[in-house]
Amino acid sequence: MAKIVVITSGKGGVGKTTTSASFATGLAMRGYKTVVVDFDVGLRNLDLVMGCENRIVYDFVDVLSGNARLSQALVKDKQLDNLFILPASQTRDKDALTDEGVSDIMAQLSQQFDYIICDSPAGIERGAQLAMYHADEAIIVTNPEISSVRDSDRIIGILQSRTKKVEDGGAVREHLVINRYNPDRAVAGEMMDIDTISNDILKVPLLGVIPESNTVLEASNQGQPVIHYGQSVAGQCYDDIVARFLGEPRPLRHIDVKKKSFLQRWFGG
């Protein structure tokens, strides 16, 4: 049986789909047969980040409505034979997702894959709740600013009350990823610091921190999960996140203020 992991956030635009793509890719790179499911019906973006938008013939809703078999809708990654995407529909709304239909698809995928990664829409509307409902584990993605952290706290409340795991008497294992972190700005008080977000407010174990990086945008525009950019700061941090999730201890990287050289201090650089 597969392990189902939902990538979620309370606020849009925090880097959730970027995280879904790199996290799923990282698992596949380690040999796990992985599928990433786009639950953002009507606003499909995951296929763009993974560079497979031109290969889509059928989508999630086609399978739910009986217009296609699951095997017809699954799109294989261009680089990894054990990585697949189940794309969302661009022409339907989230009411097309039904409890029974999603449950059936999750059951079918669980027989075929080691990991099912659910790329959830932001917020708490129907698509997001369906993405979270079947999760065994959740990765909450937030930015270091108060509105994003506050909305993430609300998502945690749903994970702790409206999931199948909770209904069955268990709990969804929670992880936190802080995206677009800048240690210099945190020290200057211009954004929230890691300890305040993870330990004081959300109280969720920290899985990783992704610093601000232009490589993320570059990778997205190239249709590549940024984890493939192994020499980049962001790529390294996503690789660390996957390793920690699988139980490998790795220290946090790129979270400390860099010391300025004498010339930088002298000229204010």
**Predicted confidence (pLDDT) per residue in 217-257, tens digit:** 999 999 999 999 999 999 999 999 999 999 999 999 888 87
If DSSP states are collapsed to H, E and C, what string results for 10-23?
CCCCCCHHHHHHHH
**Confidence at residue 15, expressed as pLDDT on a 0 to 100 scale:** 93
Give me the chain's average pLDDT, please.
92
Query: At 184, is the pLDDT very low, low, confident or very high (cuts 50, 70, 90)?
Result: very high
Task: Please give the model's pTM, rounded to 2 decimal places.
Answer: 0.93
**Confidence at residue 124, expressed as pLDDT on a 0 to 100 scale:** 81
Contact 226, 215 (CB under 8 A): yes
Q: What is the pLDDT of residues 88-142, one digit of tens each?
A: 887 666 667 889 999 999 999 999 999 999 999 888 888 889 999 999 999 999 9
Contact 133, 164 (CB under 8 A): yes
**Confidence at residue 176, expressed as pLDDT on a 0 to 100 scale:** 98
**Confidence at residue 97, expressed as pLDDT on a 0 to 100 scale:** 83
CA atoms within 13 A on the CB side of 202: 36
Burial profile 117-132: b = 16 or more Cβ within 10 angstroms, e = fewer: bbbbbbbbebbbbbbb
**Confidence at residue 98, expressed as pLDDT on a 0 to 100 scale:** 87
Beta bridge mates, 179: 210
Tokens describing residue 231: 């020499």
Assign 125 to helix, strand or coil: coil
Q: What is the pLDDT of residues 127-139, one digit of tens each?
A: 889 999 999 999 9
Query: At 262, is the pLDDT very low, low, confident or very high (cuts 50, 70, 90)?
Result: very low
